[in-house]
Amino acid sequence: MSEAAKKPKRPRVNVRRPDVMTQVNAEVERHFRSSLVEKIRAAGGEITLGNTTVRLAQQFGFCYGVERAIDLAYASRRVFPDNRIFLIGEIIHNGEVNRQLVDMGIVSLPWEQLTGDYDQLGEEDVVIVPAFGAPTNFMDKIEQRGCYVVDTTCGDVMKVWRRVRTYAKDGITSIIHGKAGHEETRATASRAMGENGKGHYLIVLTLDETDSVCRYIREGGDKVAFLERFAHAVSDGFDPDLHLTKVGVANQTTMLKSETEEIQRRVRDAVVARDGSPDNYLVFDTICGATQERQDALFEMLRRPMDMLFVVGGYNSSNTTHLVEIGEQELPTFFIRNAECLESLDQIVHFDLHEKSEISSGYPDVLLGDQPAVIGITAGASCPNNLIEDTIFRIFEMRGVPRDQVKAI
């Protein structure tokens, strides 16, 4: 039994007090909301000025889980005005939001691994758990240190945890579709070990990795080579000859829905080919509702002609990345952090998913020309509306429409 299990847990503190939340809501509104975006949404999601049309996806930006996490982080500072407040990593994957927390004196702790920083925590310190959650060993450590804990973990993420814990309890290996180094996937993988730490998991990201796993399920193979390929994506003691016998698929909640479904299908087919039945295969739909809504809204948006698309959000945001992947299949798509990426009349700074780096490109002719243009905007679940507003202003500015004219709509 760990030290954290031996020591009584400090009761979780309720920071969502009515008096506090009134102030928090006003502060969040001031920092992140946009009256312009709300006006455009109320007008059907489209605005045309001169020969320029800006079209918004029907669903984009902050989801409920993100709003809740931000509210709790802001409330923590008001409930504990004089305490040291720490955050495991980032509250969400958006630089603007995280900068606001830094300005409030909230200090980010390393999230890749437990470091000596955690040994310096004391009983009067407050630790915020981000929307992605945190691995069990992190939770054990902060409870061992006796800290106040403000847990902002998204409810959809916790649903996945319940599923993989059930898999572990029943001797089923969790195959997790996700990014092995992502905070949420690491937190989920730790729960897939089960209450006794003897459960197992395997993380796959691509269809190519999935096919490698499926071949092993069907035919067996070179165990050493398999474990080398998935060295950083399996549980301790993982043995593919033993732990691929009964499998259950789960996923990082922000993955591309169609890809998760294809992974599920391929794994099921492999189990059926080996066993003659799907009895040793389980699946549970764990795609986040907000992620699905934003993907579906973009697919619907792409049914109508547009000249280009901007996807706004943090470059390390998984759900935002998948929106870019969807868009670039259909039209010129630019993944930008904020309006500052629209630097000048001849440069867009944007993240290239294939190069995996930020690059600078010339503006497409559509932005600089005199012909009518329809420009789409969407954003991931971690992007605040004020960044969308800034992007709208900048697009119109590039097309010769002054800010005052946009404000007057």
User: Which residues does the annotation mark as catalytic?
Assistant: 184
Handedness of CA 107, 111, 112, 113 (dihedral sign): positive
Distances (CA, A) of 232 to 111, 238, 267: 16, 11, 20
Contact 349, 358 (CB under 8 A): yes
CA distance 150 to 88: 11
Residue with tokens 């950083």: 232
The tokens for 24 are: 């928090």
CA distance 165 to 195: 7
- Give the pairing of strands 342-344 and 347-352: antiparallel
Q: Which amino acid is at 157?
A: V
Distances (CA, A) of 383 to 5, 88, 177, 178, 289: 37, 20, 23, 21, 16
DSSP 8-state symbol, 234: B
Contact 384, 32 (CB under 8 A): yes
Supply the DSSP string of 299-363, one letter for each residue.
Answer: HHHTTS--SEEEEES-TT-HHHHHHHHHHTTTS-EEEESSGGGEEETTEEEEEETTTTEEEEEPP
* Phi, psi angle pair for 291, to nearest 5°: -60, -45
The order of strands in the sheet holding 357-361 is 342-344, 347-352, 357-361
CA distance 120 to 327: 45
> Burial letters for 209-238: b for 16+ Cβ neighbours within 10 Å, e otherwise?
bbebbbebbeeeeeeeebeeebeebbbeeb
